[in-house]
Structure 1
């Protein structure tokens, strides 16, 4: 699944839950003088986007190491493949937290209100900068 697919699915879930585009939601949450209900969701969305960037870089490194004719992996290629697996696991874990936060039936797990005030002062609603599309991208993915 490409990074656009993963982040696109999560973006659609957020937009459906809050009934507004993510960019608008970021602006509203940032401008809010109090803790906005989307603050925690946007925080985990940003963490997931960062993790997706790591996945993309690791996949590109693996594709570059394998070359145009794949074969049995060398130990160094296998190490890069493990990095890809680790990056995907981190991204998927963050995405699972995000999906949980968006689940309207998950409130019972938190034992009441979600701990938004705990992260409100340190959560960023901004996405990390996107690397240029031409950097390290392999064709044909």
Structure 2
């Protein structure tokens, strides 16, 4: 049976492979060869690599915690508690990166429809016949306006 770490990485990797209809190693090679060809694939590979990195850090922190717990009496000292907090932080980092990858994989995720509409609007802006705002400087009078009477400080 797989442990939780293998489940997280395995499930996400399978989702990526299904999304792009190729193995992850093949996808990584394609992205390395042409990173601009598919921006979505490039982002997903980038975040998957970050996820794998955080998973490795989590496993290391867990191993350190197990080693500390094996030598501790009933109560944990401050260094043991610090190690436990590092494990918690590593879990949070790993889970956050997993959420990013899952969000990138979901075309109907919250906020993506707005992003798609915004991108489409940016593309459609190129079809304008003229500028959206005035591009020339406004015409100014040749003389400076006179100072208004009664303004200023009395002495």
**What is the TM-score when the length of structure 2 is the normalising length?**
0.65
How many residue pairs are counted as aligned between the two chains?
A: 114
Q: Counterpart in 2 of 1:85?
A: 88
d(CA) in 2 for partners of 1:98, 1:109: 18
Larger Rg belongs to: 2
Are the equivalent residues in 1 in contact too, given 2:54–2:93 (CA < 8 A)? yes
2:77 corresponds to = 74
1:56 and 2:44 correspond: no
Distance 1:41 1:100 in 2: 10
Match of 1:99 among 99, 102, 120: 102
- Output the CA distance in 1 between the equivalents of 2:114 and 2:61: 34
Residue 29 of structure 1, CA deviation: 1.6
Q: SS at the partner of 1:38?
A: helix
Structure 2 residue aligned with 1:134: none
Please give the secondary structure, in 1, of the residue aligned with 2:47. helix
Q: How does 1:23-34 map to 2 (within 5 A)?
A: 23-32=25-34, 34=36
Structure 2 residue matching 1:76: 3-state secondary structure? helix
1:71 and 1:15 map into 2 onto residues whose CA distance is 46
**Structure 2 residue aligned with 1:110:** 115
Cα distance in 2 for residues equivalent to 1:22 and 1:111: 26
Structure 2 unaligned regions, length at least 5: 120-155
User: Deviation at 1:68?
Assistant: 6.9
Q: CA RMSD in A?
A: 2.2
Take 2:73 and 2:46, find their aligned partners in 1: how far apart are those partners?
Answer: 38
Please give the alpha-carbon distance, in whole angstroms, between the structure 2 residues aligned to 1:67 and 1:33: 46
TM-score (norm 1): 0.71
Once the two structures are overlaid, the 10-residue window that deviates more, 69-78 or 97-106, is 69-78
Q: Does the alignment pair 1:39 with 2:42?
A: yes
